[in-house]
Amino acid sequence: MRAVVQKVANASVTVEGEVVGAIDKGFMILLGVTHDDTEEQAAWLAKKVSGLRIFEDDDQKMNLSLLDVGGDCLVVSQFTLYGDCKKGRRPSFVDAARPEHADKLYQVFCERLRETGCRVETGRFQTFMKVSLVNDGPVTLILDTP
């Protein structure tokens, strides 16, 4: 699994003009799933994300986690994170998981994130979404499961 985690002041996702998920302070997470990803990896990634210490403490040091600051998460499935652009100009998506597998692990990731104590909003799987966000920092990290 691959997650692009952005620290945000706020973020939202809209489908056909309807806001389906929105948060204030927290993480905007774009989540990609590949063929051999497992539920164990989804759980590992959720725990890792919730514990990332990238919020500033009183000394302006990145020392606080999402849980420490009471932040929220907006999670959007994004198969294009496994797009391969090494050859030609049109990406290949053969490394992206089939929708059935990807949706299952996307749901597991979101549930495990909720279990850590985070409030989680989501996009809508397999739809065209418009994502808006205000980066905070900016701080953007790319996490891959082992």
Q: What CA–CA distance (Å, rounded) separates 108 from 18?
A: 25
Q: DSSP label at 36?
A: T
Q: Is residue 80 flagged as an active site residue?
A: yes
The number of helix segments (H) and strand segments (E) in the chain equals 3, 8
Q: Which of 6, 27, 34, 79 is catalytic?
A: 79
Active-site residue (options: 6, 34, 41, 78): 78
Q: b/e for 102-140, b at 16 or more Cβ within 10 A?
A: beebbebbbebbeebebebbbbbeeeebeeebeebeebe
Active site residue 14: no
The active-site residue, picked from 80, 126, 127, 140, is: 80
Q: Are 68 and 55 in contact (CB under 8 A)?
A: yes
Q: Is 79 a catalytic residue?
A: yes
Is residue 145 a contact partner of residue 6, using CB atoms and an 8 Å limit? no
Q: What residues are annotated to the active site?
A: 78-80
